[in-house]
């Protein structure tokens, strides 16, 4: 991520922001001074947040797997590229804060996400997964992905045990014994 400022006469800045030919508009969005300041305040502790993000995702993946859910997370022992990922990842940061849970059908995935968002306040349904709160999205099956695949970006708000309890409540509320594998 690059952060900077454009300073100069109003005519120069305005020409750069022209919707059709302006360099700033063609190269990506620009941020106002307030957003730039807020970003600068958060950068010093980004490393701490990322460590917690990854730690919680790993813990959720392990616990979900123990419940019999179909979980995809690069840090799990059964992930086919675990060794490659370990060789590439920073040791102290883990293997990412994103995980997937396959509920097999879109209806079950949507029902779980509904319970997670509206009943337990575990997180929010969203298409963008970059936020400090837990976010989840059900991907389409147009490219061969299971219609029940839920992508989760595990947040770092609240305690791990609080979030886990919310997830368990949502699963029990579904009252669907077929949620869990029989393996």
Query: Among 18-32, 123-137, 161-175, where is mean pLDDT lowest?
Result: 18-32
Do 52 and 120 sit in the same domain of this protein? yes
Check if the beta carbon of residue 156 is closer than 8 Å to that of residue 102.
Answer: no
Is the residue at 1 inside a domain? Answer: no
More confident residue, 22 or 97: 97
Is the residue at 122 inside a domain? Answer: yes
More confident residue, 136 or 63: 63
**Pick from 49, 3, 60, 53: nearest CA to 28:** 3
Do 49 and 39 sit in the same domain of this protein? no
**Pick from 88, 139, 125, 167: nearest CA to 75:** 88
Do 25 and 96 sit in the same domain of this protein? no
Please list the alpha-helical segments (H only) found in the chain. Answer: 10-16, 23-27, 33-42, 46-66, 82-88, 106-114, 160-174
Do 21 and 66 sit in the same domain of this protein? no
What pLDDT does 143 receive? 65
What pLDDT does 182 receive? 45
Do 71 and 147 sit in the same domain of this protein? yes
Do 136 and 159 sit in the same domain of this protein? yes
Is the residue at 54 inside a domain? Answer: yes
Rounded-to-integer distance, Cα 16 and Cα 27, Å: 10
Over range 38-55, report the average pLDDT. 91
Rounded-to-integer distance, Cα 60 and Cα 155, Å: 11
Instruction: Indicate if the pLDDT at residue 174 is higher than 80.
Output: yes
Number of domains comprising the chain: 2
Residue 113: CATH number of its domain: 3.90.1150.10
CB contact burial 99-115 (16+ within 10 A = b; e otherwise)? bbbbbeebebbbbbbeb
Is the residue at 21 inside a domain? Answer: yes
Write out the two tokens for 157.
């708000």
Over range 147-158, report the average pLDDT. 91
More confident residue, 51 or 17: 51
Is the residue at 155 inside a domain? Answer: yes
Domain of residue 128: give its range.
45-179
Residue 115 DSSP label: I
pLDDT in tens, 85-141: 999 988 888 899 999 999 999 999 999 999 999 999 999 888 766 677 777 887 665
Do 113 and 169 sit in the same domain of this protein? yes
Is the residue at 77 inside a domain? Answer: yes
pTM value is 0.74
Do 61 and 151 sit in the same domain of this protein? yes
Do 33 and 106 sit in the same domain of this protein? no
Rounded-to-integer distance, Cα 168 and Cα 67, Å: 10
């Amino acid at each position: 991520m690059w952060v900077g400022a454009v300073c100069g006469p109003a005519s120069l800045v305005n020409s750069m922001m022209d919707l059709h030919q302006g360099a700033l508009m063609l190269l990506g969005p620009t941020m106002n001074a307030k957003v730039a300041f807020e970003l600068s305040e958060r950068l010093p502790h980004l490393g701490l947040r990322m460590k917690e993000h990854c730690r919680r995702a790993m813990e959720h993946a392990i616990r979900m797997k123990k419940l019999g859910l179909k979980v995809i997370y690069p840090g799990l022992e059964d992930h086919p590229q675990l060794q490659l990922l370990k060789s590439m990842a920073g040791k102290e940061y883990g293997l990412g804060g994103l995980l997937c849970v396959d509920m097999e059908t879109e209806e079950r995935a949507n029902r779980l996400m509904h319970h997670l968002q509206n009943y337990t306040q575990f997180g929010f349904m969203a298409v963008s997964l970059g936020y400090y709160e837990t976010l989840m999205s059900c991907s389409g099956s147009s490219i061969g992905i299971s219609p029940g695949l839920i992508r989760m970006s595990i947040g770092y708000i609240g305690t791990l045990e609080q979030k886990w309890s919310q997830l368990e409540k949502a699963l029990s509320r579904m009252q669907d014994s077929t949620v869990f594998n029989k393996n």
